[in-house]
């Protein structure tokens, strides 16, 4: 049970309007002044005590419930890498790979090109933040991309498409990124010039 304060003896009109009722016998002066019939005063001995346990429980649980911060939602490593790569080389200030812009949505590009973009993006991320996890995932994507490129090159129609050419360029960039030592300044300069 929850104590909600001592109940008021005031008449109904004064309670509703939150006025100070003088509890004058017969009719309060607030009702007389307003020229309305006074409903009489409440007998506090006959009031029931409400069981507010469930309401209090819900209130406490809602306070202790973890709130979801939209900024704390985790984004997959592949999406982070893709966003960083596209931000730096496709849509960013460099724009050296701006011809990849039509393939920014992985669902709209051929699978061998998507895997090549993922491999390069993860390799670039691992190079930037020295992440072994990103590098291991990049190598897995690279192997998958090579397999898909092999299938694509077997088909004469697919082999001559721009997507296949772009995928082979990206796989070359992957090899250049992964063969560089991350902290080697000269290698970093070569990488940037190759990307341009």
- Residue ranges covered by each domain of the chain: 7-46, 77-195
Domain 7-46 has CATH 4.10.240: yes
Distance CA 126, CA 121 (A): 9
Between the alpha carbon of residue 72 and those of residues 67, 68, 75, 85, 87, the distances in Å are: 10, 7, 9, 22, 21
Of 86, 98, 168, 74, nearest to 124 by C-alpha is 86
Residue 133 scores a pLDDT above 70: yes
Residue 108 scores a pLDDT above 60: yes
Distance CA 22, CA 42 (A): 13
Q: What is the mean pLDDT of the chain?
A: 79
pLDDT at 188: 46
Distance CA 108, CA 104 (A): 8
pLDDT at 73: 57
pLDDT at 38: 86
Average pLDDT over residues 80-97: 79
Distance CA 169, CA 177 (A): 12
pLDDT in tens, 135-166: 888 899 899 998 988 898 898 888 888 888 88
Least confidently predicted of 12-16, 45-49, 124-128, 140-144? 45-49
pLDDT in tens, 60-84: 777 776 665 555 556 788 888 888 8
pLDDT confidence bin for 5, thresholds 50/70/90: low
pLDDT at 76: 80
Cβ density class 105-138: b for 16+ within 10 Å, e for less: eeeebbbbbbbbbbbbbbbbbbbeeebeebbebb
pLDDT in tens, 164-193: 888 888 888 888 888 865 544 455 455 445
pLDDT at 185: 43
For residues 3 and 127, which has the higher predicted lDDT (pLDDT)? 127
Tokens of 123: 């390799």
User: pLDDT exceeding 90 applies to what percent of the chain?
Assistant: 2
CB 166 within 8 A of CB 100: yes
With H, G, I as helix, E, B as strand and everything else as coil, classify residue 196.
coil
Q: Is the dihedral of CA 87, 196, 111, 120 positive or negative?
A: negative
């Amino acid at each position: 049970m929850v104590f909600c304060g001592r109940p008021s003896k005031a008449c109904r009109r004064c309670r509703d309007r939150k006025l100070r009722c003088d509890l004058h016998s017969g009719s309060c002066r607030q009702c007389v002044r307003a020229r309305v019939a006074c409903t009489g005063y409440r007998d506090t001995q006959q009031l029931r005590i409400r069981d507010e346990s469930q309401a209090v429980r819900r209130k406490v649980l809602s306070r202790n419930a973890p709130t979801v911060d939209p900024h704390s939602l985790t984004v997959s490593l592949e999406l982070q890498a893709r966003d960083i790569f596209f931000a730096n080389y496709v849509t960013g200030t460099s724009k050296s790979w701006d011809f990849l812009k039509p393939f920014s949505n992985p669902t709209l590009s051929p699978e061998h090109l998507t895997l090549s973009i993922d491999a390069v993006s993860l390799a670039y991320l691992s190079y930037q933040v020295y992440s072994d996890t990103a590098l291991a995932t990049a190598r897995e994507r690279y192997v998958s991309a090579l397999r898909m490129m092999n299938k694509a090159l077997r088909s004469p129609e697919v082999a001559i498409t721009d997507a296949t050419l772009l995928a082979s360029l990206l796989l070359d960039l992957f090899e250049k990124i992964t063969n560089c030592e991350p902290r080697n300044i000269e290698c970093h300069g070569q990488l940037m010039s190759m990307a341009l």
